Amino acid sequence: MGHVVIDVMLKPEILDPQGQAVNGALPRLGFEQFTDVRQGKRFVLTVDGEVTDEVLAAAREAAEKLLSNPVIEDVVSVRAAAADVDDDQDPGQ
């Protein structure tokens, strides 16, 4: 079983109120080293078998047509997960 990880972010010119709220809270919690926060979303798609170039192409198409709003969001990453994915593990690691 393979997994495809898709990351979607707001376009840079789109206001990100959730990111701004987190950015404002970080210094109050003692995290002074961060200067900006942008919020996005991640999808993990599971496929039977290996993640092939064809699977990645289909995932990118799905991301552009269904998983993102192309008016305000960019699909920034479509990749095979580096390890098995379970509920407690980040699929990008």
Strands of the sheet containing 2-10, edge to edge, are 40-47, 2-10, 73-80
Burial of 58 (0-12, 13-18, 19+ CB in 10 A): middle
| 53-79-57 Cα angle (round to 5) | 35
pLDDT tens figures, 10-69: 999 999 999 999 999 999 999 999 999 999 999 999 999 999 999 999 999 999 999 999
How many C-beta atoms surround the C-beta of residue 51 within 10 A?
19
**Quick one: pLDDT band at residue 90, thresholds 50, 70, 90?**
low
**CA pair distance 60, 76, nearest whole angstrom:** 10
Looking at residue 84, its pLDDT comes to 57
pTM of the shown model: 0.83
Strand, coil or helix: what is 5?
strand
Looking at residue 88, its pLDDT comes to 47
**CA pair distance 31, 58, nearest whole angstrom:** 39
Q: Hey, which CATH number is domain 2-86, 3.30.1280.10, 3.40.190.10, 3.40.50.620, 3.40.50.280?
A: 3.30.1280.10
Looking at residue 87, its pLDDT comes to 44
- Domain spans in the chain, listed from the N-terminal domain onward: 2-86
**Quick one: pLDDT band at residue 92, thresholds 50, 70, 90?**
low
